[in-house]
Amino acid sequence: FATELHQLTTTFSVIGLAETNCNPENKDLYTISGYTSYYQSIFKNDATSKKKGTGVALYVHDSLNAVIDNQHSVITSHIETLFVSITNTTKPIHIGVIYRPPNSEIKLFLEDFRKITKSLPQERSYIMGDFNINLHNSSHQGFYEYQEILLSSNFSPLISISTHEKPGCKNTCIDNIHTNNYNDVFTSGAFSETISHHLPIFQFSNITYDNDNPKQAHIQYYNFCKSNIEQFINKLSEKINNFSACDERFDAFNDIFLTTMDNTCKLTIPKTTKRNNINNPWITDGLIHSIETKHNLYKNWKRTVSSGSPNGDLEKRDKYRAYNKNLKS
């Protein structure tokens, strides 16, 4: 995601992510330079323990002062939310990210969603996320009540185009940004990037802020010094020496990876520091160049795709696929 973000020339004030599959104590593994991250705990219980399709996070630009809004930040089997309040603006701004698992109980989700929209401040509130309710399909379960909740709480959806594109399936509008501050919004939409089946959505508002306020302290849970990283690599190599990698065993590998990271790099007592997060050391100039080349090849091919030629220029398509395959090998 960080390398894909590098392709954009715009610096966003707040970035929201859904399905992070990451707990707060592991957030320092996924830093973005210039941002402070806030992670919600992933949902787990004894009956339905999930390791995929859970977790939400917010990345707030270092020029903004953010405080977690615990009242509206919840975790259940049917809704996961994380909200922050931005305080160094002319008036406070309230921003949250929501994820609704697609197979969760829609009635329970809508009940909690109604409580959130009713209790949020009546201005300068933004709710982004993956709601898994298709606004392009009025027969979708919960469609009308979902819209009634938004309108009765003075919220409006800013995204009306397809946001989820999956081969073999109809395009849907299940990701959105809702706000009761629509008078300040001057544009919104979705990027045609292929990070996943979900297109990244965005909105721009005309809001001023004061960046002279002192920045909040950052809690450090891990120490990624050279000796710890070397120890981590050695321990991980020992544990996966006989490990056969395949998609079905990703969860097992993920457990080994996180356990080894905790045993070698996690601090016994977390540190508090005012320093910003450092860049991910694995995002090299070479990797960024490769991602840029891949994007250019993809865009050159997609420009040739039309209703009369659904596969486009086959030579450009094959060139893109060959390069993408080589990156993964």
Q: What is the pLDDT of residue 276?
A: 44
Q: How many residues does the chain have?
A: 329
Q: What is the pLDDT of residue 153?
A: 95
The DSSP letter of residue 325 is H
Q: What is the pLDDT of residue 159?
A: 95
Give the residue ranges of the chain where pLDDT is below 70.
1-4, 6-7, 45-52, 193-195, 208-218, 242-250, 273-285, 329
Q: What is the pLDDT of residue 285?
A: 62
Q: pLDDT tens digit string along 262-309? A: 999 998 888 775 544 444 455 566 777 788 888 888 888 888 888 778
Please tell me the pTM assigned to this model: 0.68
Strand partners, 273: 218
Q: What is the pLDDT of residue 43?
A: 86
Q: Are 67 and 85 in contact (CB under 8 A)?
A: yes
Q: What is the pLDDT of residue 59?
A: 96
Alpha-carbon distance of 299 to 312, in angstroms, equals 11
